[in-house]
Amino acid sequence: MPAPRILILRAPGSNCDGETQFAFERAGGIAERAHINRLREQPALLHDYQVLVVPGGFTFGDDVGAGKILANQLVHFLGDALRQFRDAGKLILGVCNGFQALLKAGLILPPDDAGPLATLTFNTSARFEDRWIHLQAQGDKCPFLKGYERWEVPVAHGEGNFRCREGAILQKLEQNQQIVLRYVDSAGNVGPYPVNPNGSQGDVAGVCDATGRVLGLMPHPERHVLPTQHPQWTRRGLAPEGDGLRLFRNAVQFFQ
């Protein structure tokens, strides 16, 4: 089958779109970048792609909250098109600022009558966190995470603290297997800062929607695609590939 096409959505302040394109191309996909204004003008462009990615960065300067302005644009100008894209069995990925935008747009966890179910807010350290962390994948609901157990990638964010409106919501997400990534240490144990770099409730690092095909995560898999991107690669020896590459390969192989 032909290689799937991936659309990487740019907006003012995006800064990980190039790395994301590189990651998907290395995984065997055909990746293109497009500004959100282009998609607003022609929402039908989505029909030509199998994967939509909202990459990391600081869209619109995070002026009224991380990812909030981009989220509003997704809802008001592209809401129907994005829901049709998802319902057609395609994949959507949000990384860091993209996770913030997708979550606040209700594309991962649709709001109920009382409002949003969860948000991403300021790190409990009250500062920007830029460090390497370990992740533990959970369940088999999300196709992006097929074959993952424990892996290592960097985080770089100031508002990655995942918070549910009520404790019961987190429990329901657990029951539905929508909590798909947690922060752990090198032995696989959850723990306080810096193991959990932002204080997320339940050590949550990534969440998927009810279908499993819409994934949002705060860490940056596109920054550990090559083994030499890890700061300790010379001590550990050269690995075949970076830990993040599998996520992009999984998305490509989902359509092949």
* Residues with catalytic function: 96, 220, 222
What is the rounded CA–CA span in Å between residue 97 and residue 80? 21
d(CA 151, CA 241): 12
Sign of the C-alpha dihedral computed for residues 63, 65, 71 and 77 taken in this order: negative
Torsion of CA 212, 182, 140, 52, to 10 degrees: 30
Question: 141 is written with which tokens?
Answer: 């609901």
How many angstroms separate the CA atoms of 81 and 103, rounded?
17
Following DSSP, what letter does each residue of 41-90 receive, concatenated?
A: H-GGGGGG-SEEEE--B-GGGGBTBTTHHHHHHHHHHHHHHHHHHHHTT-
| DSSP code for 145 | G
Bridge partners of 150? 136
Cβ atoms within 10 Å of 158's Cβ, excluding its own: 18
Whole-number Å distance between alpha carbons of 33 and 22: 11
The alpha carbon torsion through 183, 188, 194, 200 (nearest 10 deg) reads 30
Query: Encoding tokens for residue 24?
Result: 């998907």
